[in-house]
Amino acid sequence: MQNIRTYNFSGKRALIRVDFNVPLDKETMQITDDTRIKAATRTIKHILNSGGSVVLMSHLGRPKDALDDRFSLKHIVAAYI
């Protein structure tokens, strides 16, 4: 059976569901604990280094009725680009 270490990702796209629902400071919207992001990094880098590409899926919080800037992943992206 194949696993992530033996699968040939060269030229392939991997869809990865990541848990980037990380805690943010309410005032500054800065990440207060990036453990979940660091945990996913090894898998993402493995696929990229193997010649593949990745599409990441995640969410942040649970908005009720309308769009709410506090639940945007843009705060997380900004910290890692």
* 2 band by pLDDT with thresholds 50, 70 and 90: confident
Q: Does residue 67 carry a pLDDT above 70? A: yes
- The pLDDT tens digits of the residues spanning 8-55 come to 999 999 999 998 888 888 888 889 999 999 999 999 999 999 999 999
Q: By the 8 A CB rule, do 40 and 54 touch?
A: no
Can you give the pTM of this predicted structure? 0.78
Backbone angles phi, psi at 78, to 5 degrees: -60, -30
Instruction: Supply the pLDDT for residue 81.
Output: 62
Query: What are the DSSP calls for 23-77, one per residue?
Result: -B-TTT--BS--HHHHHHHHHHHHHHHTT-EEEEE---S---SS--GGG-THHHH
